Copies of this chain bind each other. A is one copy, B any other.
Amino acid sequence: MDEFALIKRYFTRRTPRSPHVVLGIGDDAAVLDIPAGMQLAVSVDTLVSGVHFPTSTEPYDIGYKALAVNLSDMAAMGAEPFAATLALTLPQADEAWLQRFSGGFFDLAARYHVQLIGGDTTCGPLSITVQIHGLLPQGAALLRSGARPDDAIYVTGTLGDAGLGLLAAQNKMTLPDPQRALDKLNRPEPRVLEGMALRGIAGSAIDVSDGLLADLGHILKASGAGARLNLDALPLSPDVRACDEEQAHAIALSAGDDYELCFTVPSSKEAALKRAFETFSCACTRVGVIEREPGLRCVRADGSLYVPKASGYDHFR
């Protein structure tokens, strides 16, 4: 099977259709129509085998996650995703692998009505780059720079589960029931609907891909502000709570890959936030407050300061 037949077989027949896609796969470029009054949000993320996922990861999960991390970026902007490109570098054209990979990709694409509009298939060490395209009403983007002193800081879901999953996948930790943590690592749920619901409510937002400290740090830097985090308010799953306290806090604050949203809300919008999340099954927890003083302070219930050891993932350290 040659390159073109392979691409056609696994990547053109199953994709959902978006009304904003004028021309999809098969020409030199795709063509999109952006409705009047809307803006286009675009984001790109690469997953490298052995770096972003263990080499033993199921191809289904790789395909799922390559799209999920990009959907999460749309969620963090409040954008509605509708189209994606896929640049896939593969050591060889392994049909069984492609079938499972495309299964994970398209199962998630179908849930969010995201059309695959183009891509490139090349031969080389396994790596996947997805670019996602989403729509935003004019001026509605949730930026990192909009946090203001006294805004409340919220996070969705629970923190640290993907970090636990990674430790379990690497056999560095034994969990009584590792499946929940592994699912969170391999098939994170992008908070797309939640992100869209935060338009007009959140002052700033980011997705937690590198750990809460690092990602909240980006909000603080972009907003020229500081923050106080209440360590005991961090939403932890039973799995993370089962760790000793020091480890639980370190994982919840610094492990990456949770793909929850972290956002800030001015007090005038907290009632609207509560109403918006009534329709979602995912939790939304107040974990701290934006302060004028620069820096990020983690405070225990007794008022003492907690000084975290790690502060997020850096690819070149």
| Among A40-48, A171-179, A248-256, A283-291, the stretch in contact with B | A40-48
Q: Which residue of B lies closest to A131 (CB)?
A: B131
- Stretch touching chain B among A121-129, A229-237, A292-300: A121-129
Nearest residue (CB) in B for A72 is: B28
User: Using a CB-CB cutoff of 8 Å, which residues 290-317 of chain A contact chain B?
Assistant: 314-317
**Residue of A1, A22, A27, A48 with most chain B CB atoms under a 10 A cut-off:** A27
Separation of A23 and B77 alpha carbons in the complex (Å): 11
Q: B40 touching A34 by the CB < 8 A rule? A: yes
For the complex, is A183 an interface residue (Cβ under 8 Å from B)? no
In A122-148, which residues have CB < 8 Å from any B CB? 122-125, 127, 129, 131-134, 136, 141, 143-145
Asked if A182 is at the interface of the complex by the 8 Å CB criterion, the answer is no
Complex-state Cα separation, A79 to B27, whole angstroms? 13
> In the assembled complex, how far is the CB of residue A21 from the closest CB belonging to chain B, in whole angstroms?
10
B28 & A73 in contact (Cβ 8 Å cutoff): yes
| Distance to closest chain B CB from A195 (angstroms) | 9
Residues of chain B within 8 A (CB-CB) of A39 are 22, 31-34
A312 to B285, CA, bound (A): 56
A169 interfacial by beta-carbon distance below 8 Å: no
Q: Do B124 and A50 touch (CB < 8 A)? A: yes
Which residues of chain B are within 8 angstroms of A22 by Cβ–Cβ distance?
39, 141
Asked if residues A85 and B42 are in contact (CB atoms below 8 Å), the reply is: yes
Contact of A34 among B34, B93, B123 (CB under 8 A): B34
Question: Chain B residue with minimal CB distance to A43?
Answer: B29
Does A52 sit at the interface, judged by CB under 8 A? yes
Q: Taking A31-B136, A122-B51, A133-B42 as contacts, is the C-beta distance between A127 and B89 under 8 angstroms?
A: yes
Asked if A206 lies at the interface with its beta carbon under 8 angstroms from chain B, I say: yes
On whether the beta carbons of A123 and B73 are closer than 8 Å, the reply is no
Interface contact A77-B28, CB-CB below 8 Å: yes
- In the complex, are the beta carbons of A43 and B141 less than 8 A apart? no
Contact of A28 among B31, B119, B207, B316 (CB under 8 A): B207
Q: A3-B315, A48-B89, A89-B127 are in contact. Are A222 and B43 (CB under 8 A)?
A: no
Q: Given the known A-B contacts A117-B42, A119-B44, A124-B48, are A87 and B129 also in contact in the complex, defined by CB atoms under 8 Å? A: yes
Return 10 A-B CB contacts under 8 Å, by A number.
A2-B316, A3-B314, A23-B143, A29-B76, A29-B134, A32-B40, A32-B41, A33-B39, A34-B40, A45-B120
Other CB < 8 Å A-B pairs besides A121-B315, A124-B127, A125-B125, 4 of them? A27-B144, A44-B119, A89-B127, A127-B127
List the 5 closest A-B pairs by CB distance, nearest first: A48-B124, A29-B43, A28-B76, A93-B316, A29-B41
